[in-house]
Amino acid sequence: SGERDIEERIIRVFWEKFKLKPTIDDRGSYHIVTFNSTILAELFKKLMGGKLEEKHVPGFLWCAPRRVIEAFLSGYAADSHRRVKNGKDRCYVTKKAMLTYEVSWLARVAGLNSYIVREDHARYGPYYAVYISRLRNGVNPPSADLVPLKPIINLYKRLNPSNMPRRLTQMLNDRRRFVSREKAREVLDWILQRRREFDDEDHKLLARLDLLLQSDIALAPVLEVIEEDYDGYVYDLSVPETEAFYGGSTPVLLHNTGHGGLSTIHAESIESVMKRLVSPPMNIPPSHIPLLDAVALVERVRLPRPVDGRTYARRIRYVWEVIDYGKYVTIAEWNPATDQFVTNFMDSMVLEKIAAKMAKTKEEIIAEIERRAKILKALVERGMIEISDVAKEVYTYYSNPEQVLRKYGIAVEGIEVPAGSSRAGAGGFEAESFRAGAWADEDGEAAIADKVLGLLRQHGGVYPLWRIFVETPASKIMVFRALKRLRESGKIEMSRSMVVLRGG
Protein backbone atom coordinates (compact mmCIF):
# COMPACT_ATOMS: atom_id res chain seq x y z
CA SER A 1 0.00 0.00 0.00
CA GLY A 2 2.93 2.33 0.64
CA GLU A 3 4.17 2.17 -2.96
CA ARG A 4 0.63 2.63 -4.30
CA ASP A 5 0.28 5.80 -2.18
CA ILE A 6 3.56 7.13 -3.58
CA GLU A 7 2.39 6.35 -7.13
CA GLU A 8 -0.84 8.27 -6.61
CA ARG A 9 1.05 11.20 -5.11
CA ILE A 10 3.48 11.36 -8.05
CA ILE A 11 0.62 11.33 -10.55
CA ARG A 12 -1.17 14.08 -8.63
CA VAL A 13 1.94 16.29 -8.30
CA PHE A 14 2.89 15.96 -11.98
CA TRP A 15 -0.60 16.97 -13.00
CA GLU A 16 -0.81 19.90 -10.55
CA LYS A 17 2.68 21.26 -11.36
CA PHE A 18 3.24 20.32 -15.00
CA LYS A 19 -0.18 19.28 -16.39
CA LEU A 20 1.26 15.91 -17.42
CA LYS A 21 -0.59 12.60 -17.44
CA PRO A 22 1.37 9.33 -17.30
CA THR A 23 1.14 6.02 -19.09
CA ILE A 24 1.00 3.15 -16.61
CA ASP A 25 2.36 -0.30 -17.45
CA ASP A 26 0.89 -2.83 -15.00
CA ARG A 27 3.40 -5.68 -14.57
CA GLY A 28 1.33 -7.50 -11.98
CA SER A 29 3.54 -7.15 -8.91
CA TYR A 30 4.60 -3.60 -9.81
CA HIS A 31 3.75 -0.64 -12.06
CA ILE A 32 5.93 1.35 -14.44
CA VAL A 33 4.76 4.97 -14.51
CA THR A 34 6.09 6.99 -17.46
CA PHE A 35 5.79 10.74 -18.09
CA ASN A 36 6.75 12.01 -21.54
CA SER A 37 8.63 15.30 -21.11
CA THR A 38 12.09 15.90 -22.56
CA ILE A 39 12.57 19.11 -20.56
CA LEU A 40 11.81 17.46 -17.20
CA ALA A 41 13.95 14.45 -18.09
CA GLU A 42 16.94 16.72 -18.74
CA LEU A 43 16.21 18.74 -15.59
CA PHE A 44 16.11 15.67 -13.32
CA LYS A 45 19.20 14.25 -15.02
CA LYS A 46 21.01 17.51 -14.35
CA LEU A 47 19.86 17.69 -10.73
CA MET A 48 20.24 14.05 -9.70
CA GLY A 49 21.99 12.18 -12.51
CA GLY A 50 20.69 9.69 -15.03
CA LYS A 51 22.17 6.21 -14.69
CA LEU A 52 23.11 4.70 -11.32
CA GLU A 53 26.75 5.68 -11.80
CA GLU A 54 25.64 9.32 -12.14
CA LYS A 55 23.12 9.46 -9.29
CA HIS A 56 23.78 12.08 -6.61
CA VAL A 57 21.96 14.25 -4.09
CA PRO A 58 20.76 17.53 -5.69
CA GLY A 59 23.06 20.36 -4.70
CA PHE A 60 20.28 22.72 -3.58
CA LEU A 61 19.30 20.30 -0.79
CA TRP A 62 22.46 21.02 1.22
CA CYS A 63 21.05 24.42 2.16
CA ALA A 64 17.37 23.41 2.23
CA PRO A 65 15.16 23.47 5.36
CA ARG A 66 14.77 20.23 7.27
CA ARG A 67 11.18 19.69 6.09
CA VAL A 68 12.38 19.76 2.46
CA ILE A 69 15.15 17.27 3.21
CA GLU A 70 12.71 14.95 4.97
CA ALA A 71 10.36 15.18 1.98
CA PHE A 72 13.23 14.21 -0.33
CA LEU A 73 14.19 11.25 1.88
CA SER A 74 10.57 10.17 2.00
CA GLY A 75 10.36 10.23 -1.79
CA TYR A 76 13.73 8.51 -2.21
CA ALA A 77 12.41 5.66 -0.05
CA ALA A 78 10.06 4.62 -2.86
CA ASP A 79 13.03 3.38 -4.89
CA SER A 80 15.48 2.07 -2.29
CA HIS A 81 13.62 1.50 0.96
CA ARG A 82 14.11 -1.62 3.06
CA ARG A 83 11.95 -2.49 6.06
CA VAL A 84 13.67 -2.32 9.47
CA LYS A 85 12.62 -4.53 12.37
CA ASN A 86 12.51 -1.85 15.07
CA GLY A 87 10.08 0.26 13.05
CA LYS A 88 11.89 3.46 14.08
CA ASP A 89 14.65 3.56 11.49
CA ARG A 90 14.45 3.89 7.73
CA CYS A 91 16.96 2.06 5.55
CA TYR A 92 18.10 3.04 2.05
CA VAL A 93 20.02 0.53 -0.08
CA THR A 94 22.19 1.20 -3.14
CA LYS A 95 25.27 -0.20 -4.85
CA LYS A 96 26.83 3.24 -5.26
CA ALA A 97 29.04 4.08 -2.27
CA MET A 98 29.23 7.84 -2.93
CA LEU A 99 25.43 8.14 -3.10
CA THR A 100 25.30 6.39 0.28
CA TYR A 101 27.69 8.93 1.80
CA GLU A 102 25.70 11.84 0.36
CA VAL A 103 22.40 10.54 1.76
CA SER A 104 24.02 9.98 5.17
CA TRP A 105 25.52 13.48 5.17
CA LEU A 106 22.20 14.98 4.09
CA ALA A 107 20.46 13.32 7.03
CA ARG A 108 23.08 14.66 9.45
CA VAL A 109 22.72 18.17 8.00
CA ALA A 110 19.02 17.93 8.87
CA GLY A 111 19.80 16.80 12.44
CA LEU A 112 18.89 13.15 11.86
CA ASN A 113 20.86 10.15 13.07
CA SER A 114 22.48 8.17 10.26
CA TYR A 115 25.05 5.43 9.88
CA ILE A 116 26.33 3.32 6.99
CA VAL A 117 26.70 -0.46 6.74
CA ARG A 118 28.46 -2.26 3.90
CA GLU A 119 26.98 -5.66 3.09
CA ASP A 120 28.22 -8.37 0.70
CA HIS A 121 25.65 -10.32 -1.29
CA ALA A 122 26.62 -13.74 -2.61
CA ARG A 123 25.07 -13.02 -6.01
CA TYR A 124 25.10 -9.24 -6.46
CA GLY A 125 28.33 -8.38 -4.67
CA PRO A 126 28.84 -5.45 -2.26
CA TYR A 127 26.12 -2.89 -1.62
CA TYR A 128 25.57 -0.18 0.97
CA ALA A 129 22.77 0.56 3.41
CA VAL A 130 22.10 3.91 5.11
CA TYR A 131 20.07 3.75 8.32
CA ILE A 132 18.30 6.96 9.34
CA SER A 133 16.28 7.47 12.50
CA ARG A 134 13.99 10.15 13.90
CA LEU A 135 11.96 10.66 10.77
CA ARG A 136 8.89 10.63 13.00
CA ASN A 137 7.97 11.69 16.54
CA GLY A 138 8.56 9.49 19.57
CA VAL A 139 12.07 8.34 18.64
CA ASN A 140 15.05 8.78 20.97
CA PRO A 141 16.99 12.02 20.37
CA PRO A 142 19.89 11.78 17.90
CA SER A 143 23.47 11.89 19.10
CA ALA A 144 23.67 15.52 17.94
CA ASP A 145 21.22 16.38 20.76
CA LEU A 146 23.48 14.84 23.42
CA VAL A 147 26.40 16.40 25.27
CA PRO A 148 28.94 14.88 27.70
CA LEU A 149 27.79 14.94 31.31
CA LYS A 150 31.29 15.13 32.82
CA PRO A 151 31.92 18.91 32.39
CA ILE A 152 28.52 19.63 33.96
CA ILE A 153 29.41 17.40 36.92
CA ASN A 154 32.77 19.18 37.24
CA LEU A 155 31.00 22.55 37.35
CA TYR A 156 28.54 21.26 39.96
CA LYS A 157 31.36 19.96 42.17
CA ARG A 158 33.32 23.18 41.76
CA LEU A 159 30.44 25.51 42.66
CA ASN A 160 28.73 23.10 45.10
CA PRO A 161 25.29 24.78 45.03
CA SER A 162 22.86 23.81 47.78
CA ASN A 163 19.25 22.60 47.60
CA MET A 164 19.39 21.38 44.01
CA PRO A 165 16.20 19.44 43.10
CA ARG A 166 16.54 15.71 43.48
CA ARG A 167 15.67 14.97 39.85
CA LEU A 168 18.70 17.03 38.80
CA THR A 169 21.11 15.59 41.37
CA GLN A 170 20.03 12.08 40.38
CA MET A 171 20.97 12.85 36.81
CA LEU A 172 24.41 14.10 37.92
CA ASN A 173 24.96 11.04 40.12
CA ASP A 174 23.87 8.65 37.39
CA ARG A 175 26.47 6.63 35.52
CA ARG A 176 25.37 7.85 32.12
CA ARG A 177 28.03 9.53 29.97
CA PHE A 178 25.78 11.77 27.91
CA VAL A 179 22.67 13.84 28.57
CA SER A 180 20.31 15.80 26.33
CA ARG A 181 21.08 19.45 25.68
CA GLU A 182 17.72 20.35 27.17
CA LYS A 183 18.54 18.65 30.49
CA ALA A 184 22.05 20.12 30.52
CA ARG A 185 20.64 23.60 29.95
CA GLU A 186 18.15 23.07 32.80
CA VAL A 187 20.99 22.20 35.21
CA LEU A 188 23.12 25.13 34.04
CA ASP A 189 20.27 27.62 34.34
CA TRP A 190 19.48 26.39 37.87
CA ILE A 191 23.11 26.85 38.94
CA LEU A 192 23.29 30.34 37.41
CA GLN A 193 20.13 31.42 39.23
CA ARG A 194 21.23 30.12 42.65
CA ARG A 195 24.99 30.67 42.66
CA ARG A 196 26.12 34.22 43.36
CA GLU A 197 29.93 34.26 43.18
CA PHE A 198 32.00 33.20 40.14
CA ASP A 199 35.76 33.49 39.74
CA ASP A 200 37.75 33.60 36.48
CA GLU A 201 37.99 29.81 36.24
CA ASP A 202 34.21 29.49 36.72
CA HIS A 203 33.61 32.01 33.94
CA LYS A 204 35.84 30.07 31.54
CA LEU A 205 34.12 26.78 32.34
CA LEU A 206 30.69 28.38 31.92
CA ALA A 207 31.75 29.86 28.59
CA ARG A 208 32.88 26.48 27.27
CA LEU A 209 29.65 24.82 28.41
CA ASP A 210 27.50 27.54 26.89
CA LEU A 211 29.35 27.25 23.58
CA LEU A 212 28.84 23.47 23.60
CA LEU A 213 25.13 23.71 24.37
CA GLN A 214 24.50 26.30 21.65
CA SER A 215 26.45 24.50 18.93
CA ASP A 216 25.24 21.83 16.51
CA ILE A 217 28.27 19.66 17.21
CA ALA A 218 27.90 16.21 18.76
CA LEU A 219 30.76 14.75 20.80
CA ALA A 220 31.54 11.05 20.66
CA PRO A 221 34.41 9.04 22.17
CA VAL A 222 37.06 7.64 19.82
CA LEU A 223 36.82 3.86 20.23
CA GLU A 224 39.66 2.77 17.97
CA VAL A 225 42.29 4.18 15.62
CA ILE A 226 43.38 1.88 12.79
CA GLU A 227 46.49 2.49 10.70
CA GLU A 228 46.06 1.62 7.02
CA ASP A 229 48.61 1.44 4.20
CA TYR A 230 48.12 4.18 1.62
CA ASP A 231 50.36 5.11 -1.32
CA GLY A 232 48.37 8.05 -2.72
CA TYR A 233 48.57 11.77 -2.08
CA VAL A 234 47.52 13.24 1.27
CA TYR A 235 46.01 16.72 1.10
CA ASP A 236 46.08 19.27 3.92
CA LEU A 237 42.95 21.43 3.73
CA SER A 238 43.12 24.97 5.04
CA VAL A 239 39.92 26.95 5.66
CA PRO A 240 40.54 30.66 6.33
CA GLU A 241 39.71 31.91 9.83
CA THR A 242 38.20 28.72 11.28
CA GLU A 243 40.60 26.05 9.90
CA ALA A 244 37.68 23.63 10.34
CA PHE A 245 35.98 21.34 7.83
CA TYR A 246 33.97 18.12 7.70
CA GLY A 247 35.21 14.74 6.52
CA GLY A 248 34.50 11.02 6.75
CA SER A 249 31.66 8.78 5.61
CA THR A 250 29.70 10.04 8.62
CA PRO A 251 30.51 13.77 8.87
CA VAL A 252 33.13 14.48 11.53
CA LEU A 253 34.38 17.99 12.25
CA LEU A 254 38.11 18.12 11.44
CA HIS A 255 40.26 20.98 12.60
CA ASN A 256 43.72 22.34 11.90
CA THR A 257 44.69 24.20 15.04
CA GLY A 258 46.80 26.83 13.34
CA HIS A 259 48.88 26.92 16.53
CA GLY A 260 52.06 25.30 17.65
CA GLY A 261 51.88 22.06 19.58
CA LEU A 262 53.81 20.23 22.29
CA SER A 263 54.57 16.52 22.17
CA THR A 264 56.71 13.98 24.03
CA ILE A 265 59.14 11.36 22.77
CA HIS A 266 61.48 8.97 24.60
CA ALA A 267 65.15 9.64 23.82
CA GLU A 268 68.41 10.40 25.63
CA SER A 269 69.71 13.28 23.52
CA ILE A 270 68.78 15.68 20.71
CA GLU A 271 70.54 13.38 18.24
CA SER A 272 68.48 10.40 19.41
CA VAL A 273 65.28 12.43 19.04
CA MET A 274 66.08 13.29 15.43
CA LYS A 275 67.02 9.71 14.54
CA ARG A 276 63.68 8.48 15.88
CA LEU A 277 61.79 11.13 13.91
CA VAL A 278 63.40 10.33 10.54
CA SER A 279 63.33 6.53 11.02
CA PRO A 280 60.39 4.11 10.63
CA PRO A 281 57.56 4.20 11.52
CA MET A 282 57.45 8.05 11.57
CA ASN A 283 59.70 8.60 8.52
CA ILE A 284 59.65 12.40 8.74
CA PRO A 285 61.85 13.81 5.93
CA PRO A 286 64.99 15.55 7.26
CA SER A 287 63.97 18.61 5.22
CA HIS A 288 60.91 18.97 7.52
CA ILE A 289 62.90 18.91 10.79
CA PRO A 290 63.41 22.73 10.77
CA LEU A 291 59.64 23.02 11.31
CA LEU A 292 60.42 22.18 14.95
CA ASP A 293 61.22 25.22 17.10
CA ALA A 294 62.74 23.65 20.19
CA VAL A 295 63.40 20.40 22.05
CA ALA A 296 63.69 20.04 25.84
CA LEU A 297 65.26 17.04 27.60
CA VAL A 298 63.64 16.12 30.93
CA GLU A 299 65.42 13.64 33.23
CA ARG A 300 65.22 12.30 36.76
CA VAL A 301 68.45 13.50 38.38
CA ARG A 302 70.24 13.46 41.72
CA LEU A 303 70.15 16.87 43.38
CA PRO A 304 73.32 18.43 44.84
CA ARG A 305 71.37 19.04 48.06
CA PRO A 306 67.96 17.84 49.29
CA VAL A 307 64.90 19.89 48.34
CA ASP A 308 61.86 19.37 50.60
CA GLY A 309 63.51 16.17 51.80
CA ARG A 310 63.99 14.77 48.30
CA THR A 311 67.38 13.88 46.88
CA TYR A 312 66.03 13.03 43.39
CA ALA A 313 63.81 15.15 41.18
CA ARG A 314 62.97 15.86 37.56
CA ARG A 315 64.80 18.69 35.86
CA ILE A 316 64.88 20.10 32.34
CA ARG A 317 68.49 19.22 31.52
CA TYR A 318 68.75 20.99 28.17
CA VAL A 319 66.72 23.21 25.87
CA TRP A 320 67.81 23.24 22.23
CA GLU A 321 66.58 25.29 19.31
CA VAL A 322 66.38 23.38 16.04
CA ILE A 323 68.08 25.27 13.21
CA ASP A 324 68.22 22.37 10.74
CA TYR A 325 68.65 18.62 10.72
CA GLY A 326 71.95 18.06 12.52
CA LYS A 327 72.27 21.72 13.56
CA TYR A 328 71.07 22.73 17.03
CA VAL A 329 71.72 25.58 19.47
CA THR A 330 71.80 25.06 23.25
CA ILE A 331 69.63 27.80 24.77
CA ALA A 332 69.43 26.58 28.38
CA GLU A 333 71.27 24.00 30.47
CA TRP A 334 70.87 22.72 34.02
CA ASN A 335 73.99 22.87 36.23
CA PRO A 336 74.04 19.70 38.39
CA ALA A 337 76.56 21.23 40.81
CA THR A 338 74.42 24.22 41.78
CA ASP A 339 70.88 23.12 40.78
CA GLN A 340 70.65 26.29 38.70
CA PHE A 341 69.91 26.96 35.03
CA VAL A 342 72.31 28.70 32.67
CA THR A 343 70.60 30.46 29.74
CA ASN A 344 72.00 31.73 26.46
CA PHE A 345 69.15 33.73 24.92
CA MET A 346 71.45 35.90 22.79
CA ASP A 347 72.09 32.92 20.50
CA SER A 348 68.37 32.27 20.07
CA MET A 349 67.10 32.30 16.48
CA VAL A 350 63.47 31.98 17.61
CA LEU A 351 63.67 35.15 19.70
CA GLU A 352 65.30 36.89 16.75
CA LYS A 353 62.29 36.01 14.58
CA ILE A 354 59.87 37.17 17.29
CA ALA A 355 61.76 40.45 17.70
CA ALA A 356 61.65 41.08 13.94
CA LYS A 357 57.88 40.46 13.80
CA MET A 358 57.30 42.88 16.69
CA ALA A 359 59.78 45.49 15.43
CA LYS A 360 61.84 45.13 18.61
CA THR A 361 65.43 44.33 19.40
CA LYS A 362 66.37 40.94 20.77
CA GLU A 363 67.55 42.67 23.95
CA GLU A 364 64.05 44.11 24.52
CA ILE A 365 62.48 40.67 24.08
CA ILE A 366 64.97 39.10 26.49
CA ALA A 367 64.31 41.84 29.07
CA GLU A 368 60.58 41.06 28.88
CA ILE A 369 61.28 37.33 29.36
CA GLU A 370 63.37 38.11 32.44
CA ARG A 371 60.57 40.25 33.93
CA ARG A 372 58.06 37.46 33.42
CA ALA A 373 60.48 34.94 34.92
CA LYS A 374 60.76 37.12 38.04
CA ILE A 375 56.97 37.19 38.34
CA LEU A 376 56.73 33.40 38.09
CA LYS A 377 59.49 33.03 40.67
CA ALA A 378 57.63 35.41 43.00
CA LEU A 379 54.46 33.32 42.62
CA VAL A 380 56.34 30.14 43.53
CA GLU A 381 57.93 31.79 46.57
CA ARG A 382 54.45 32.78 47.79
CA GLY A 383 53.09 29.28 47.23
CA MET A 384 50.74 30.47 44.49
CA ILE A 385 50.57 27.35 42.31
CA GLU A 386 46.83 26.83 41.70
CA ILE A 387 45.99 27.29 38.01
CA SER A 388 43.20 29.80 38.72
CA ASP A 389 45.49 31.95 40.89
CA VAL A 390 48.33 31.90 38.37
CA ALA A 391 45.94 32.66 35.48
CA LYS A 392 44.54 35.65 37.37
CA GLU A 393 48.03 37.14 37.78
CA VAL A 394 48.87 36.49 34.12
CA TYR A 395 45.67 38.19 32.92
CA THR A 396 46.31 41.14 35.19
CA TYR A 397 49.86 41.46 33.86
CA TYR A 398 48.63 41.57 30.25
CA SER A 399 46.23 44.43 30.99
CA ASN A 400 48.17 46.27 33.71
CA PRO A 401 51.80 45.12 33.94
CA GLU A 402 52.84 47.95 36.28
CA GLN A 403 50.37 46.80 38.91
CA VAL A 404 51.78 43.25 38.96
CA LEU A 405 55.42 44.33 38.85
CA ARG A 406 55.00 46.79 41.73
CA LYS A 407 53.05 44.17 43.68
CA TYR A 408 56.06 41.86 43.62
CA GLY A 409 58.73 44.56 43.91
CA ILE A 410 60.05 44.29 40.34
CA ALA A 411 61.45 47.31 38.45
CA VAL A 412 58.97 48.77 35.94
CA GLU A 413 61.15 51.11 33.87
CA GLY A 414 60.76 50.85 30.12
CA ILE A 415 58.33 47.94 30.04
CA GLU A 416 56.14 47.23 27.03
CA VAL A 417 52.43 47.95 27.45
CA PRO A 418 49.74 45.94 25.63
CA ALA A 419 47.52 48.28 23.63
CA GLY A 420 44.02 47.56 24.92
CA SER A 421 44.11 43.76 24.79
CA SER A 422 44.62 41.00 27.31
CA ARG A 423 46.02 38.63 24.70
CA ALA A 424 49.75 38.45 24.22
CA GLY A 425 50.51 38.92 20.56
CA ALA A 426 46.95 39.97 19.73
CA GLY A 427 48.26 43.20 18.29
CA GLY A 428 51.29 45.46 18.25
CA PHE A 429 52.86 46.75 21.46
CA GLU A 430 53.36 50.42 22.12
CA ALA A 431 56.89 51.06 23.35
CA GLU A 432 56.75 53.65 26.09
CA SER A 433 57.97 54.27 29.61
CA PHE A 434 55.11 53.04 31.73
CA ARG A 435 53.22 55.51 33.85
CA ALA A 436 50.27 54.96 36.17
CA GLY A 437 46.97 54.77 34.31
CA ALA A 438 48.57 54.81 30.85
CA TRP A 439 46.89 51.51 29.97
CA ALA A 440 43.37 52.95 30.35
CA ASP A 441 42.47 53.76 26.73
CA GLU A 442 39.43 56.09 26.74
CA ASP A 443 38.55 55.36 23.10
CA GLY A 444 38.83 51.62 23.69
CA GLU A 445 36.66 51.89 26.79
CA ALA A 446 33.95 53.70 24.82
CA ALA A 447 34.09 51.05 22.08
CA ILE A 448 33.64 48.31 24.68
CA ALA A 449 30.67 50.17 26.18
CA ASP A 450 29.06 50.31 22.71
CA LYS A 451 29.70 46.57 22.31
CA VAL A 452 27.96 45.85 25.63
CA LEU A 453 24.96 47.98 24.69
CA GLY A 454 24.75 46.15 21.36
CA LEU A 455 24.71 42.75 23.09
CA LEU A 456 21.97 43.90 25.45
CA ARG A 457 19.79 45.23 22.62
CA GLN A 458 20.23 42.00 20.64
CA HIS A 459 19.03 39.90 23.58
CA GLY A 460 16.02 41.82 24.82
CA GLY A 461 17.86 44.05 27.28
CA VAL A 462 19.08 41.28 29.63
CA TYR A 463 22.37 39.39 29.35
CA PRO A 464 24.51 37.24 31.70
CA LEU A 465 27.47 39.15 33.11
CA TRP A 466 29.94 36.32 32.48
CA ARG A 467 28.98 36.08 28.79
CA ILE A 468 29.79 39.77 28.29
CA PHE A 469 33.35 39.01 29.35
CA VAL A 470 33.46 36.03 26.98
CA GLU A 471 32.17 37.91 23.94
CA THR A 472 34.04 41.18 24.43
CA PRO A 473 37.56 41.09 22.92
CA ALA A 474 39.33 43.10 25.61
CA SER A 475 40.94 42.73 29.01
CA LYS A 476 38.75 42.13 32.05
CA ILE A 477 39.77 45.44 33.59
CA MET A 478 38.77 47.34 30.44
CA VAL A 479 35.38 45.57 30.42
CA PHE A 480 34.84 46.38 34.11
CA ARG A 481 35.62 50.04 33.45
CA ALA A 482 33.18 50.12 30.51
CA LEU A 483 30.45 48.54 32.65
CA LYS A 484 31.14 51.02 35.43
CA ARG A 485 30.84 53.90 32.97
CA LEU A 486 27.49 52.58 31.69
CA ARG A 487 26.15 52.04 35.20
CA GLU A 488 27.20 55.49 36.41
CA SER A 489 25.58 57.08 33.35
CA GLY A 490 22.32 55.27 34.16
CA LYS A 491 22.27 53.16 31.00
CA ILE A 492 22.46 49.77 32.71
CA GLU A 493 21.78 48.04 36.00
CA MET A 494 24.00 45.24 37.28
CA SER A 495 23.60 42.32 39.65
CA ARG A 496 26.15 39.66 40.48
CA SER A 497 25.10 37.57 37.48
CA MET A 498 23.07 39.73 35.07
CA VAL A 499 23.30 43.05 33.24
CA VAL A 500 20.02 44.84 32.43
CA LEU A 501 19.52 47.66 29.92
CA ARG A 502 17.59 50.57 31.43
CA GLY A 503 14.83 52.23 29.46
CA GLY A 504 14.77 49.52 26.74
Task: Tell whether omega for the bond before 65 is within 30 degrees of 0, i.e. cis.
Answer: no
382-393, pLDDT tens digit by residue? 999 888 788 888
Spell out the SS3 assignment of 164-187.
CCHHHHHHHHCCCCEEEHHHHHHH
Enumerate helices (H) and strands (E) in the chain, giving the number of each: 16, 19
* Ordered alpha helix ranges (H), 281-410: 349-357, 362-381, 387-399, 401-407
Per-residue pLDDT at 348: 93
Instruction: For each of the domains in the chain, give its residue range(s) and CATH number, in order of start.
Output: 7-36 (no CATH), 260-343 (no CATH), 346-439 (no CATH), 442-501 (1.10.10)
C-alpha 245/C-alpha 236 separation (Å) is 11
Checking 73-78 for CB contacts under 8 A at 24+ apart, the result is 73/103, 73/106, 73/107, 73/132, 73/135, 74/135, 75/6, 76/103, 78/3, 78/6
Predicted confidence at residue 84, as pLDDT, reads: 64
Instruction: Determine contact, residues 329/320, Cβ cutoff 8 Å.
Output: yes
| pLDDT for the residue 433 | 30
Amino acid at 61: L
Q: What is the DSSP letter of 284?
A: -
**Alpha carbon separation from 453 to 10, 420, 443, 486 (Å, rounded):** 54, 19, 16, 9
CA distances from 416 to 92, 255, 410, 423, 433 (A): 63, 34, 14, 13, 8
DSSP-assigned beta bridge partners for residue 342: 333
pLDDT at 9: 85
User: Could you tell me how far CA 265 lies from the centroid of its own chain?
Assistant: 26
Estimate the crossing angle of helix 387-399 against helix 200-214, to 10 degrees: 90
Which pLDDT score is estimated for 430?
A: 33
> Residue 380, class by beta-carbon neighbours within 10 Å (0-12 exposed, 13-18 middle, 19+ buried)?
exposed
Q: What is the pLDDT of residues 48-75, one digit of tens each?
A: 887 777 888 988 898 899 889 988 888 7
CA 317 distance to own-chain centroid: 35
Residues 72 and 99: their CA atoms lie apart, in Å, by 14
Please name which of 147, 162, 171, 156 lies closest in space to residue 206, comparing C-alpha atoms: 156
Residue from 145, 138, 143 nearest 88 by CA = 138
SS3 503: coil
pLDDT at 168: 83
pLDDT tens for 218-260 read 677 777 888 888 888 887 777 777 778 888 877 777 877 666 7
**Smallest Cα–Cα separation from 375: which of 353, 388, 392?**
392
Q: What is the pLDDT of residue 435?
A: 30
Q: Is 430 left (phi over 0), alpha (psi -120 to 50) or beta?
A: beta
Residue ranges of the chain whose pLDDT lies below 70: 1-2, 78-88, 134-144, 195-197, 200, 216-218, 257-259, 412-443, 466, 470, 473-477, 495-497, 504
**Residue 290 phi/psi, 5° resolution?**
-60, -10
Q: Is 196 within 8 Å of 497 (Cβ atoms)? A: yes
Q: How far apart are CA 51 and CA 46, in angstroms?
A: 11
